[in-house]
Chains A and B, each alone.
Chain A
Amino acid sequence: MDFLSYILQQFINGLQLGAVYALIALGYTMVYGVLRLINFAHGDVFMFGAFTAYYLIAKWDVPIYLVFPITMAVTALLGFLIEKIAYKPLRSAPKIALLITAVGVSLFLEYFLSLESLFTPNYIGFPRPFEVTGYELPLFTVTNVQIIIFAVTALSLLLLYLLIYHTKYGRAMRALSHDREIASLMGIPVDGIISFTFIVGAALAGLGGILYGFAYPQINVFMGIMPGIKSFIAAVLGGIGIIHGAVLGGLIIGISEVFVSAFLSSTLRDGVIFFVLFLVLLLKPSGIFGKWIDKV
């Protein structure tokens, strides 16, 4: 019984981490869909979201219900600017040039923001605007942080689903990821939709940043690297370009990471995640929900 409740407890903790990964993975998967680019800077947008929330809560005492929209707006703006300044001039350049630029943008954001006069390279305590309380259920305990994370993630997924499958913008995005040239021939404003995709993805990453700060209240300018890479792996695992695939992949990665930490060793968890990546790439590179294709 104890063992069962321990496993369930770890499962809940894994879902908490996985929900954050899912929010980041959505941005990767959408950007990959429209631009065929691994946006390495996405993890840093997530980091920027956490820092924005930190400044709003700790320095300027903004009420919590305003922290969410303001942070998402700020990261959306950052995502928009990254695309306009760094990626747009390279629209016709070779794919690898775009990828290297993405790595460059990511490094720039990290090291620029880690300057002493900006965010500093140190770990900073993230202030939760509320006390953490646990609710004892028969088999496991769930905290209010976890409830907030699950609720916010579920709500944003619902909204994203409506956006992508039930609006004109969503249809344009899907058309673009299907075939950019034909989409532009059909009168879709390609540049506008790409910007829009970055905005939505970056807003979700900002949301992920806030929730991550609530759950693991230690933030640092380099905090986005590993969650960013793992979320990308989550997107690949679920099938890149597929919305529900990114969510499922995020949850799987989060849960397996927590289980490896709990039962094997916390220093090995990154290794296990990458082992999972290798397996996916070798067995079914198109991911869980992807179509069978010969090569990626």
Chain B
Amino acid sequence: MSFFTNAKRFLLCSIVVYFVLKGLFLSGLLTQYIQQIILFSFVAILTSLGLNVIYGYTGQFSLGHAGFYGIGAYTAAYLGAVFQVDNVFSFLPILALGGAAAGIVGYAVGVPILRLRDDFLAIATLGFGILVKVLLDNSDRAIEVLGGSRGFIGIPKIVNLEIAFFTMVFLILVTRNLIFSRYGLFWQCIKDDELASTAFGINTARMKLMAFTFGCFLAGIGGALYAYLYSFLHPSNFDFLRSIDFLIIVIVGGMGSITGTIYAGLLWVAVIEGLRIGLPAQALEFRWVLIPIFLVVVMMWKPFGLLARKESKFLGLGRDA
């Protein structure tokens, strides 16, 4: 029973957060730019949550997450351009389709490559990510509107606080319930020991594929939100470094922790964007010098991340409060 009361608790927390944010947005204290960053942090959390399902819970290392994020973004943007989407109600199906496209591609790619393990899987997903970027760079040859290396322009800016926030809350809740369902237990079992999981009768291939598809679906939703938040897409937004961004959020937050991903996502966006505001332009290039050092130090100190397999009781994300 506490499972459901926890879900209620999480919803209650979200509604409080929503009203606080809405008040801040309406009060005019936040510039347009800051508002956009806040909404982007929700996108980052959602996409990283997808990677956490794949890697943190199921143990399938992926370095190509930005590829799926890009597929979601471009699919949603393209469908939006075809069907002349300009309001919230016609956007929601497009959002779902963006996620579905990434999920379907994830499924199709996952069938062959999830047979690989650890570093071979890493290099295969890395290859997939680069493949997606190359295809996006060349996309204008096939479909003019995608823009290729010039970028996809003219996407209406539809995503607002309500859409971004409640999509995130809804999908976090879905993810939480999946994680605590038997499937989630299978996933974590596979992460701990694949051989033993097979011995217990878990269909590991199917479960890995399911986790991978769901993770890619979340990335696709994140990408679709991103497209309609920034109204401009460029292949360089979906390159290898972006995959690393999501990986860092997952690792810093902790593998197998939704709470960790939420905090780390907020922290990450705040640090990246905050440094942009706070630091002088010359010092800006230091960001990517310090970030890898931080990553290496976290790996040496806590190889499973800061909040590995811990959930916040306060937010009501845990199994039992």
Which residues from chain A sit less than 8 Å from chain B, CB to CB? 36-38, 86, 89-90, 93-101, 103-108, 110-112, 114-116, 121, 225, 229, 232-233, 236, 265, 267-268, 270-271, 274-275, 277-278, 281-282, 285, 295-296
Contact = CB atoms under 8 A, between A and B. Distances in A.
B74 interface: no
A112 B131 contact: no
Nearest to A113: B289
Interface residues of B, number: 40
A236 B303 CA distance: 27
19 contacts: A89-B300, A97-B299, A100-B247, A103-B63, A103-B244, A104-B293, A104-B296, A104-B299, A111-B289, A115-B286, A116-B282, A116-B285, A229-B127, A267-B137, A267-B138, A270-B134, A281-B112, A282-B112, A282-B113
Contact of B292 (A37, A96, A108, A236): A108
Q: Which of B117, B135, B289, B299 has the most CB of A within 10 A?
A: B299
B293 A236 contact: no
Nearest to A97: B303
Contacts, number: 124
Task: Tell me if A's interface is mostly helix, strand, loop or mixed.
Answer: helix
Contacts of A116: 282, 285
Interface stretch (B87-95, B118-126, B155-163, B219-227): B118-126
B22 interface: no
A108 B130 contact: no
B289 A115 contact: yes
B20 to A, nearest CB: 35
Contact of B113 (A104, A121, A275, A278): A278
B116 interface: yes
Contacts of B118: 95-96, 99
Interface in B192-218: none
Nearest to A109: B292
B137 A100 contact: no
Given A271-B134, A271-B135, A278 B299 contact: no
B299 A93 contact: yes
A105 B293 CA distance: 8
Contact of B285 (A90, A97, A114, A232): A114
B130 A115 contact: no
Given A104-B292, A107-B292, A112-B289, 18 more contacts: A96-B61, A96-B118, A98-B299, A99-B119, A100-B295, A101-B296, A101-B299, A111-B289, A114-B285, A115-B286, A225-B240, A233-B127, A267-B137, A271-B131, A277-B127, A285-B120, A295-B117, A296-B116
